[in-house]
Amino acid sequence: MKKIDTKLFRLGGIIQLGFPGIGQMEIEAFKRLSGFRFCGGLKMWHITYHSEVISYLNGLYNGRYVFIEDRTDLKQIIDVEEEKLKKEAHVRLDRESGKMYVKHSFDSKFFKALRVLEGSHYDSVNKFWTIPLGDNYERLCKTAKAYAFELKASAIESVTKSTSHINNISPQASLSVLSEADIAVLNRFQRELSFRNRSNRTAVSYLEYAQRFIGHFQGRNLQEIGNLEIQEYLNDMVLNRGYSYSTLNMHISAIRSLYNLVFRISLQDIELPRPKSAKDLPKVLSMREIQRMIEGIANKKHQLIISLLYSTGMRRAEILALKTTDLDLESGTIRIHGKGNKYRTAYISKNLHKLLTGYIKAYKPDDFLLEGQGGQQYSATSIEKVIKRSAVKAGITKRVTPHMLRHSYATHLISKGAALPYVQKLLGHTSIKTTMIYTHVADNDLKNLPNPLDDMDL
């Protein structure tokens, strides 16, 4: 159980309870507290104080944290000046499309002033404005000055100046055979994906599939292509080009995003049924095989990689992104930055704690937990090689991948009786249906369970 010190101070005449020296793990855990905020003057996170707040916190986080009460006399606590909130508006100018995109600090009056600009539209999901350029930019500058907003403007570079990025994505549909209008659509799609901070991997895949889609209907107005034609195109992907069901699903997502982001047309109402993927069960290793992989190598870093993948169910990318600050050895937790910018918590087992302690002592990582040459992030290829070599050394003949250790972790948890919602949370699955596939693998172990009839002397 981790001890959390507290500090009393007064901010704007209101007594606050501060948490000095807490790390990122605690910041994420305490975000559920009402009024949890940061004091720039003291560089400290805090909440409003009341007489029973310490007992409330100890009850709320019982078993994880214990809060130490600050005994300073309330008459003697320090006063901190309230800092003036910095009001900023970030503007991205897209002169090619004749629009600007605006994100700003919350201010109800400034919000209302932008709402009356001609043609302005607020995206309530992604929290930004889309506003036509022209006179609106000058009006925005005047509005920002009137409400004491600092305006930070940047231009969205034209992708048409360098088409090599898109051209290298898909050799099957070269940009040279597309019309200028088609290339303009692709360019805009790329800008829209970039503005919405889609991961590079997703953006590259979506652009590739969009390019193939546009190339197939070359010279056609995409807004006039009907549902039946799109379905025939997708059927061709499977029947004649050998696309897998998972690839086809990604292709459908790319087409939907293309229409939604570029044309503002929702294909949700257009019937594009997603195919059911083949029922291939995840490939798993036995506990004995994994043990042989770990015991068969002497390198502490390689031992840790295998153990982390297996004992936490992390994905390869998640392990590569781990920072030393994500570890809390005292409370036995790891903060994982998962898919879709979602965070979850993994719990450090006794054996993993021993491996982590030995590894940190030997390697002394600074930023990333797994460091490559020059303190840079460890490479995905290196992890592949570590898993492959350790599997061969352990006498495992089948092909072993990093993701198989995640599959094995989930399957072994369920085999040992772990409830599905718990496994879902540990793996970071959005839907429990994704987790349920491991129950089919775990069913193979049911035959080994003792039968009560065999306990009878018949």
pLDDT in tens, 53-62: 898 899 888 8
For 381-386, the CB contacts below 8 A with 24+ separation are 383/305, 383/316, 383/319, 383/320, 386/302, 386/305, 386/306
- At residue 242 the predicted structure's pLDDT band, cuts being 50, 70 and 90, is low
Neighbours of 432 (CB within 10 A): 12
Contacts of residue 300, Cβ cutoff 8 Å, sequence gap at least 6 = 355, 358, 359, 362, 363
Q: Which amino acid is at 22?
A: I
Mean pLDDT computed over 280-287: 82
- What pLDDT was estimated at residue 215? 87
pLDDT of residue 163: 40
Share of the chain above pLDDT 90, in %: 29
**197-211, 338-352, 374-388: the lowest-pLDDT one:** 197-211
Bigger pLDDT: 407 vs 280: 407
Mean pLDDT calculated for residue range 5-10: 94
CA dist 380 and 200 (Å) reads: 16
Q: Which two tokens stand for residue 378?
A: 């460890």
How many distinct helices (H) and strands (E) make up the chain?
A: 17, 15
Residue 372 pLDDT level (bands cut at 50, 70, 90): confident
Question: What is 286-327 written as a DSSP string?
Answer: -HHHHHHHHHT---HHHHHHHHHHHHH---HHHHHT-BGGGE
- Sorted by where each begins, the domain ranges of the chain are 2-80, 88-156, 163-262, 287-445
Identify the CATH homologous superfamily for domain 287-445.
Intergrase catalytic core (1.10.443.10)
Tokens standing for residue 89: 């508006």
Residue 343 is classified by DSSP as E
pLDDT the model gives residue 19: 96
Considering the chain, what percentage of its residues have pLDDT values greater than 70? 83
Cα 177 to Cα 180, 185, 219, 233, 255: the distances in Å are 10, 14, 10, 19, 20
User: Which among 131, 161, 439, 132 has a CA at the least distance from the CA of 284?
Assistant: 439
**Overall size of the chain counted in residues:** 458
pLDDT at 336: 92
| CATH architecture, domain 88-156 | 3-Layer(aba) Sandwich (3.40)
Burial 9-27 (b: 16+ CB within 10 A, else e): bebeeeebbbbeebeebbe
Confidence band of 448 (pLDDT split at 50, 70, 90): low
Stretch among 132-136, 160-164, 302-306, 387-391 having the lowest mean pLDDT: 160-164
**Start-to-end CA span in the chain (Å):** 52
Closest CA to 94 of 142, 150, 182, 153: 153
Copy the structure tokens of residue 3.
Answer: 């001890």
Element (H, E) at 196: none
**Six-digit token pair at 396?**
């495992």
- On whether the CB atoms of residues 4 and 26 are closer than 8 A, the answer is yes
Confidence of residue 271 (pLDDT cuts 50, 70, 90): low
Q: Just list the catalytic residues.
A: 315, 339, 403, 406, 429, 438
Q: If you search the block for the tokens 């292709």, which residue do you land on?
A: 251
Residues in CB range of 405: below 8 A, 6 or more apart: 285, 290, 306, 309, 310, 387
Q: Are strands 37-39 and 121-123 parallel, antiparallel or unpaired?
A: unpaired
Q: How far apart are CA 233 and CA 209, in angstroms?
A: 12
List phi, psi (to 5°) of 434.
Answer: -65, -40
- Residue 140, pLDDT score: 92
Query: Among 222-231, 260-269, 321-330, 436-445, which range has the highest average pLDDT?
Result: 321-330
The overall average pLDDT reported for the chain is 82
Confidence of residue 169 (pLDDT cuts 50, 70, 90): very low
CA distance 25 to 37: 15
Tens of pLDDT, residue by residue over 118-151, are 888 887 656 788 898 888 888 999 999 998 898 8
What per-residue confidence (pLDDT) applies to 83? 64
| Beta carbons of 54 and 72 less than 8 angstroms apart | no
Distance in angstroms (rounded) separating the CA atoms of residues 239 and 221? 25
CATH number of 163-262: 1.10.150.130
Specify the pTM: 0.48
* Residue 434, H or E segment: helix 432-442
Contact 366, 344 (CB under 8 A): no
Tokens representing 338 are 């998962």
Under 8 Å between Cβ of 231 and 190: no
Report d(CA 265, CA 222) in Å as an integer: 11
